[in-house]
Amino acid sequence: MVALLAIVLLVGLAEWRRPASEPARSVVPWASAADVTADTSDTWYCSAGTSDAGGRADETISVANLAAPGGPRARVRVSVMTGLGVAPTTTEFVLAPDDPRREQGPNDSQRSIRIADLVASPEPGVVVESRGAPIAVTHTVAGSGDLGAAPCARGSRAEWWFAGGTTVLGAQDWITLFNPYPGDAVVDLEFLTDQGVEAPGDVQGLVVPATSRLSVAVHDSVRRRAVVATHVATRRGRVVADQVQILDGRDGRRGIALAPGAPGPSSDWWFAGGVAAEGRSTSLTIANPAAEPVRVRIDTALQSAASLEPLTVEIGPRDLAVVPISDRVPVGTAFGWHVRAGNATGVVAQALTVQRGSPASIAADAGSPVAARRWTIVPGTSRGEPAQSISFLAVGPRAVVVRTRSSEDGGGATRSRIRIPADGAVRRDLEVFGAVTVTADGPIVVAREESGGFGLALSTAVPVCDGSSC
């Protein structure tokens, strides 16, 4: 069933979550403040974490104002929903635009909030609304001595896909379903596994009550599966879905990983955040939801401006494949890769990076189905002084010039100019105090990595699209 590919060394090789098909709806309409001058609104949804004492995935959200220097302030409201009939717990604040011309701290334009500081709940659903200026919202989850990171969702949907997961001994695979609306949602789950397609009765017709969140323990429904891809489909209503994977080390992997759902299959997936290192490995799971087989090509770009010989993978109907990605890459080399499906239906892809040693860690990356000229990175950790790395992958046949801008501690800005070769990869270590703005003169994909004593957090950044294209 599962194509487990043993690959020898060879010479030679979104908007992360796209907006919903209809505009995101504000859960609780509210008036703009006097200091908000623009008529811009923005809504994000975060579904993954917990905020109770001893919870499996302690959640922190980070919010950044995306307005250009001199632009409008963002009036932000964070609402935490904990169940039907329970009033949301809310907090409000104003974020200024990042402006190097005046003295300001990083928290003027960006703020991080630990959800447990607002309310204690095993099933918190978080809604972040902005009036006046657009925002970007990411979240992190902490647990098992590790940290996971991902963007929150820009909208709810009728279906979600998660390509990567496992329910081997010692593994927990959680799918969180958040319904922020006044009516109940009804949800079915289906799994593509290494032992075939499974749709257990206990995950059919799940009711997610209004303004509530439900966590589904995939490891209880499909036990002892090496690889599991999950399809979430609603019969009624719309939900926001995330995945939290926890491994306890019994299979040699330990840590916590957070992955956002893909809104559907795509013919293209780009991943920017790879680096080959001792004790570290990256693998890619590709799920084929179609009723016909599909041929998938994987092109891997190296930081040296070289590329590896392309890989071709045949995946059967409603099946999946696991592909080692980092095995062929020289140690110390950054890399990115492009997954291209040879059919109209497309595939779903998700990467898992495993770091062995001390600290042991895992990190999931859902990649991006789109390339964009503008990206935003919102750092999410507040544990110690993490090392920050940003990876860039050029998409297209010409070199791309990238400019980055980030806040300095106490005011001002740090700027850099980076050239990325055609279809090439570049990785840079940065001292980051606030959000990072990335602009390019051609399409790129951007990923961020944070590492330190807490482990490893890796995710694709947030694309900023202009409404017509990325």
Q: What are the tens digits of pLDDT across the range 108-126?
A: 888 999 999 999 999 999 9
- CA 236 vs. chain centroid, Å, equals 26
Nearest in space to 187 (alpha carbons), one of 238, 151, 120? 238
Q: Is residue 269 within 8 Å of 325, Cβ to Cβ? A: no
**What is the identity of the amino acid at 83?**
G
CATH class of 41-151: mainly beta
- Tokens for 37, please give them: 């001058």
In this structure, the number of other CB atoms found within 10 A of the CB of residue 4 comes to: 13
Give percent of the chain above pLDDT 70. Answer: 85
Evaluate if residue 91 carries a pLDDT over 90.
yes
Contacts of 51 (CB under 8 A, 6+ apart): 58, 59, 80, 114, 115, 116, 118, 119, 120, 121, 122, 124
Cα–Cα dist 139/242, whole Å: 11
Residue 442, number of CB atoms within 10 A of its CB = 17
What pTM does this model have?
A: 0.89
* Helix, coil or strand: residue 15: coil
Task: Report, as an integer, the average pLDDT of 370-395.
Answer: 80
Q: Give the DSSP letter string of 443-461.
A: EEEEEEEEEETTEEEEEE-
**Average pLDDT of 100-114?**
70
What is the number of other CB atoms lying within 10 angstroms of the CB of residue 192?
27
The burial of 362, by beta-carbon neighbours within 10 Å (0-12 exposed, 13-18 middle, 19 or more buried), is given as buried
First to last CA, the chain: 36
Residue, of 139 and 466, whose pLDDT is higher: 139
pLDDT in tens, 214-245: 999 999 999 999 999 999 999 999 999 999 99
The pLDDT confidence band at residue 38, using thresholds 50, 70 and 90, is very low
Mean pLDDT of 336-361: 94
For the chain, the average pLDDT equals 87
In the chain, what are the domain boundaries? 41-151
pLDDT score, position 463 = 93
**Phi, psi of 469, rounded to the nearest 5 degrees:** -165, 170
